[in-house]
Amino acid sequence: MSQPEIDPDLAFIREAVHAMPIARTLGVEVTALRRGHAELRTPIADAMTFRPGQLQAAAVFAAGDCAAVAAAGTLLEPGSWAATIDGTIKLVAPASGTGLRAVGRVVDAGRLLTTCAAEVYAVDGDAERLCATWLGTARRMTPRLV
Ligand X SMILES: CC(C)(COP(=O)(O)OP(=O)(O)OC[C@H]1O[C@@H](n2cnc3c(N)ncnc32)[C@H](O)[C@@H]1OP(=O)(O)O)[C@@H](O)C(=O)NCCC(=O)NCCSC(=O)Cc1ccccc1
Among 32, 61, 65, 132, binds ligand X (CB under 6 A): 65
Among 33, 63, 70, 103, binds ligand X (CB under 6 A): 70
141 binds ligand X, rule: CB under 6 A: yes
- Give the Cα separation of 122 and 92 in Å (integer): 11
116 binds ligand X, rule: CB under 6 A: no
Among 54, 84, 115, 133, binds ligand X (CB under 6 A): 84
Q: For the segment 2-21, give every residue that binds ligand X (CB under 6 A).
A: 17
- Determine the size of the site formed for ligand X (CB under 6 A): 13
69 binds ligand X, rule: CB under 6 A: yes
Provide the total of helices (H) and of strands (E) in the chain, helices listed first.
3, 8
Strand order in the sheet with 127-141: 29-34, 37-43, 99-109, 113-124, 127-141, 81-91
Name the segment binding ligand X (CB under 6 A); options: 3-11, 39-47, 48-56, 81-89. Answer: 81-89
| Chain-centroid distance, C-alpha 88 | 13
Q: Nearer to ligand X by C-beta: 129 or 139?
A: 139
Q: Nearer to ligand X by C-beta: 40 or 96?
A: 40
Query: Looking only at Cα atoms, what is the longest distance across the chain?
Result: 50
CA angle, 67 then 68 then 74, to 5°: 90
Is residue 97 within 8 A of residue 144, CB to CB? The reply is: no
83 binds ligand X, rule: CB under 6 A: yes
Residues that bind ligand X (CB under 6 A): 17, 65-66, 69-70, 82-85, 139, 141-142, 144
